[in-house]
Structure 1
Amino acid sequence: MTEIAAPTSAGQRLKALRLEHNLSIRELARRSGISHVSISLIERDRHSPSISSLKSVLDALGTTLSAFFSEPLPDEAPVVYRAGELVELADGEALSYRQVGRNLDGSAMMILHERYAPGADTGDSPYHHTGEEGGVVVAGRLELTVDGEARILEKGDAYYFDSRRPHGMRNPFDEVCEVVSVASPPTF
């Protein structure tokens, strides 16, 4: 019997997940609010979506960013994760969300090491989700917008808020910004 290789790119994973749910690209577009052209480009690895766009598509498919990019947990999860073992949830270039742990289904929290290149942001429109999140800026500066109010955080500054409030983050500065954050429950 011939084995079919597991999808390796985000586009291939998305297409496999969509087909697993027996959805056309147009139906997934209708359910997610993301254009069918964008979904087609993502599936062909010709477009790297914003986190908020990918989250909308994955919500329509009943999964999270964490589950989408991770492999299932082994029977006993490790206690220590080396830098190379963190799971990248974003493009890894302009925006990097490196998750501690693998698939977090059933977990109470999510820990991320975030990196925002100069000019990077979390998307054009603010997003919101159930839960709470907090973080500490460990390098550079970050513009955090919650409920339409923008605040500049510098190294050592922290934030904590109810994630149901519309929010977004961006780095309009010339230096890279790094943040260590926690979300509870895991919503990516």
Structure 2
Amino acid sequence: MSDSVGPRLRALRALRGVSQRELAKRCGVTHSSLSLIEQDKVSPSISSLKKILDAIPISVGDFFTMELENTDQVFYRSDELPNIGSGDVVYHLVGANRENRALSFMIETYAAGTDTGREMIAHRGEEAGAVLEGEIEITIGADVRILGPGEAYYFNTNTPHRFRNLGKTPCRLVSCCTPAKNF
């Protein structure tokens, strides 16, 4: 077996949130044996490793090919979300630092009386979102609707569209569009 079996097993167990004792109990291996395997002091036979992995559960093939470490940032504090909006329209982009983003996910805030501009917007892709607070008027082609908290939208962005907050309070929504925009 590979020298990486022990550390890989420890990382997978931690990823799944299973204690060493719990995994030992599930698979019928002694706690001390499992500890020695994870420390790379003992190399398990294929059948022993399969028995351990069945208790997680994961196949032997997936165990050796699974990415156990994420090299991209996963979690973001609010101060790590750049504002790519303008004026009183705030777009906080999640994952702006990811090189090969496939989508743009944003937390949007429209101050009272603000909008995306006089001109309708159109671009290739799809967009979806949900209103968290306040109300927003959304125009998609000839369709106009005012959405409130808990209401959502999904449309083809080739259709000209516009967002306006006609209310007296800010509107917050979350949205996602494809393909990812480079801001």
TM range (shorter): 0.5 to 0.7
Q: Gaps (5+ residues) in structure 2?
A: 1-69
**1:135, 1:78 → 2: CA distance?**
23
Report whether the alignment pairs 1:95 with 2:89: yes
Q: Which residue matches 2:140?
A: 146
Q: After superposition, what is the alpha-carbon deviation per residue over 1:61-96, rounded to whole angstroms, capped at 9, x for unaligned? A: xxxxxxxxxxxxxx93211011110011013x5110
**1:111, 1:131 → 2: CA distance?**
13
Alignment of 1:125-144 (within 5 A): 125-144=119-138
CA contact (8 A) 1:123 1:168 kept: yes
CA contact (8 A) 2:140 2:159 kept: yes
Larger radius of gyration: 2
TM-score normalised by length of structure 1: 0.57
TM-score normalised by length of structure 2: 0.58
Report whether the alignment pairs 1:77 with 2:39: no
Q: Gaps (5+ residues) in structure 1?
A: 1-74
**1:128, 1:146 → 2: CA distance?**
10
Report whether the alignment pairs 1:160 with 2:148: no
How many correspondences in the alignment? 113
Give how far 1:117 is off.
0.3
CA contact (8 A) 2:128 2:155 kept: yes
Q: Which residue matches 2:163?
A: 169
SS at the partner of 2:122?
coil
**1:132, 1:104 → 2: CA distance?**
20
**2:148, 2:154 → 1: CA distance?**
15
**1:139, 1:115 → 2: CA distance?**
9
- The CA RMSD over aligned residues, in Å, is 1.6
